[in-house]
């Protein structure tokens, strides 16, 4: 997915994708959000997730490392934070052309549901979406509704490398914090 450069309106480190989605929604951003996991242990250095947005509501998703779009890209992006978040504003007409890419589309509430596991944020996002999009299904038709959620979860659990990286990162964090908190001696 080739994105125009646009105007950077927000750049910061966020703890989780939910914070990124909420930031975009609160600003009613029209443009795109780039999420770059800070933990390079988990992903290649250039791994980024991109979400385009209209009035803060996600439209397309794409993952640079896996080259996948739509719901599968959300599964690729689901790694522990923190993330570097950039919000970029674009004119609506520039986005309109991009948005004619059915394979990359996601239903409005799906990113909040899958990346953040946050039903309230998903509901808030759907409330901000135009009526025409509220019942939108992903383009493939094979990845809608609850079974899709499960299949994304299963895909996540099948990615042993990613799971091992999450565990390794947690072990390292637990060790570092044990030292910080005076718990060294319980640490195995």
Binding site for another protein (CB under 8 A): 16, 18, 75, 78-80, 113-117, 146-147, 149-150, 152-154, 156-158, 163, 166-167, 170-171, 173-175, 177-178, 181-183, 185-188
CB of 120 to another protein, least distance (A): 9
Find the DSSP H helices in 5-118: 17-26, 71-77, 92-98, 110-111
* Minimum distance of another protein from residue 17's CB (angstroms): 8
Pair 89, 7: CB distance under 8 Å = yes
Q: Please give the structure tokens belonging to residue 155.
A: 């895909």
| Residue 6 or 80 with smaller CB distance to another protein | 80
DSSP 84-100: EEEEEE--HHHHHHHT-
Nearer to another protein, 78 or 95 (CB): 78
Asked if residue 62 lies in contact with residue 104, where contact means CB atoms within 8 angstroms, the answer is yes
For the CB of residue 78, give the shortest distance to another protein in the complex, in Å.
Answer: 4
Write down the least CB distance from residue 132 to another protein, Å.
26
Give 23 or 166: the residue with its C-beta nearer to another protein: 166
Q: Which is nearer to another protein, 97 or 188 (CB)?
A: 188
Where b means 16+ CB within 10 Å and e means fewer, 98-109 reads beebeebbbbbb
């Amino acid at each position: 997915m080739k994105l125009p450069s646009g105007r950077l309106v927000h750049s910061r480190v966020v703890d989780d994708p939910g914070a990124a989605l909420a930031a975009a929604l609160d600003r009613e951003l029209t443009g795109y959000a780039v999420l770059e996991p800070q933990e390079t242990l988990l992903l290649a250095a250039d791994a980024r997730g991109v979400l385009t947005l209209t009035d803060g509501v996600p439209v397309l998703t794409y993952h640079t490392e896996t080259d996948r779009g739509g719901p599968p890209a959300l599964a690729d992006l689901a790694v522990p934070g923190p993330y570097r978040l950039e919000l970029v504003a674009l004119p609506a007409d520039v986005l309109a052309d991009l948005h004619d890419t059915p394979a990359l589309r996601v239903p409005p509430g799906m990113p909040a549901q899958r990346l953040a596991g946050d039903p309230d944020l998903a509901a808030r996002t759907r409330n901000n979406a135009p009526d025409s999009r509220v019942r939108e299904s992903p383009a493939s038709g094979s990845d809608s509704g609850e079974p899709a959620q499960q299949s994304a979860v299963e895909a996540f659990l099948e990615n042993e490398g990613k799971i091992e990286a999450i565990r390794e990162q947690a072990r390292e964090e637990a060790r570092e914090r044990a030292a910080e908190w005076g718990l060294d001696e319980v640490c195995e």
